[in-house]
Amino acid sequence: MEALSQQTCLPCQGNVSPVSEEEIAQYQPQIPDWHLVRDNQIPYLERSYKLPNFKQALYLAQQIGEIAEQEGHHPTLIVEWGKVTVQWWTHTIKGLHRNDFIMATKTDRIFKKLSP
């Protein structure tokens, strides 16, 4: 199987099913620092990144926004002093799609590039 970080998001118009529990188990090892959270029965992926100050947190959020625009898939971003929390889920299907796992790997890659 091709690494998620090497894949691109597929357009999702709400006419697809969320990933199965088996697919989640298959994808999660590629994003070990992400947490699977359920809110009102809707699952999403979440990870917080620690940074030295607000300026770098804002820069990370901007870089994540850039890749989100390129891929046509957008997260929830919470920017705080020294911290960015990212949540990925697919709104149109009210659950997780493979795209969310792809974007989690790409988000990790952006953070690694910014980290010393």
What would the two tokens of residue 20 be? 């199965």
In a domain, 76, yes or no: yes
pLDDT in tens, 19-68: 999 999 999 999 999 999 998 888 999 999 999 999 999 999 999 999 99
**CA-based nearest residue to 29, from 8, 51, 11, 5:** 5
Q: Total domain count for the chain?
A: 1
DSSP 46-89: EEEEE-SSHHHHHHHHHHHHHHHHHHT---EEEEETTEEEEEE-
In a domain, 9, yes or no: no
d(C-alpha 46, C-alpha 37), whole Å: 7
Residue 34 backbone class (left: φ over 0; alpha: ψ -120 to 50; beta: rest): beta
pLDDT in tens, 90-108: 988 889 998 999 999 999 9
Output the domain CATH number for residue 104: 3.30.1360.20
d(C-alpha 5, C-alpha 8), whole Å: 8
d(C-alpha 100, C-alpha 31), whole Å: 11
In which domain, by residue range, is 71 found? Answer: 23-114
